[in-house]
Amino acid sequence: MIRRFVMFVFVFLTAAQLRAQDLNARVQILSTQIQNTNKRSFDALESTIREFLNNRKWSADALQPRERIDCSFVINITWYDGSSQFLADAQIQSSRPIYGTTYNSTLLNISDKDFGFTYAEGQPLDYSDQNFINNLSSLLAFYAYTIVGMDYDSFSRYSGTPYYVKALGVVNNAQNASFPGWKAFESLKNRYWLSENLNNKAFNPIREVLYDYHRNGLDIMAGNQAKGRKEIIGLLPQLQKIDKQKQGAMLNQVFFTAKADELVNIIGSADPQDKVKAYNQLVELDPANLAKYQALRK
């Protein structure tokens, strides 16, 4: 009887843990710039970060395993003191599946050059929404909430709001941290400004585009490519409007960093007239990716 009870508790807790997982995060620690160091500490760090991201509850819903949000964290260690101090940069990506296809569309593709932190091997990675505990858990929580928010926004209009508010809370709690990336005056394109843009109603048109692009564009392309493509091309004037109002804003850049290649693939099959018009709009909106958009002129 006792054994049955123990097995029941084990199964219950295991099931609860599975339900708690919102992210399907792949984590890779790169340490090629660090010489003559025991790589075991980097392996332990990689495992700790993966468990932190994948075993915590980030959303308010009970997601099924197949509904977990695919994301990746590639963390490149640029300096290590051999004990607990790390300087790093990170590439964070997330994607969501497209209805009726095996294709995953990139939602976030961002580079963070200020991914420094303190971590000692074997140290538990604690986190609280109420206060700043350490920079590593705050970095991971910030991006976890941002990833969840963008995923929710792509499925239901403005449903990412609670998670952007959570990410803003992480930023606010980190204002006295000694690590860079959290403060408005440090840069025009850092975690502070990403959070500010996502919570600023002036940028709601971009959030609306995020929804319409995926739900009314990509998600219907499996059944009607022309209709989905037309919807996506029709969103470019809305992006032009917000770009003129908020020129150079971080969220504008974040959108096109994630979507430039995909836009070229989608618009590349449009009618010549639509391709030319879209090309001119994209060059104005996103000159940083001009080389990619040149393919639309062929």
pLDDT digit string, tens, across residues 63-103: 888 889 999 999 999 999 988 999 999 999 999 999 999 99
**Helix, strand, coil % in the chain, rounded to nearest 5:** 55, 15, 30
Buried/exposed code over 97-127 (b: 16+ C-beta within 10 A; e: otherwise): bbeeeeeebbbbbbebbbbbbebeeeeebeb
Q: Is residue 36 part of a domain?
A: yes
226 and 277 housed in the same domain: yes
154 and 275 housed in the same domain: no
Query: Domain of 267?
Result: 207-247+256-297
Look at the alpha carbons of 248, 252, 258, 262 in this order and tell me if their dihedral is positive or negative.
negative
Q: Is residue 225 part of a domain?
A: yes
Q: Is residue 92 part of a domain?
A: yes
Q: Is residue 191 part of a domain?
A: no
Tokens of 52: 């932190």
Q: Per the structure, how many domains does the chain have?
A: 2
Whether 298 has a pLDDT exceeding 90, the answer reads: no
**pLDDT of 20:** 54
Give the residue, 184 or 5, on which the prediction is more confident: 184
pTM above 0.75, yes or no: yes
Q: Is residue 216 part of a domain?
A: yes
Q: Is residue 220 part of a domain?
A: yes
Q: Is residue 1 part of a domain?
A: no
pLDDT band at 175 (very low <50, low <70, confident <90, very high): very high
Whether 7 has a pLDDT exceeding 60, the answer reads: no
145 and 221 housed in the same domain: no
107 and 231 housed in the same domain: no
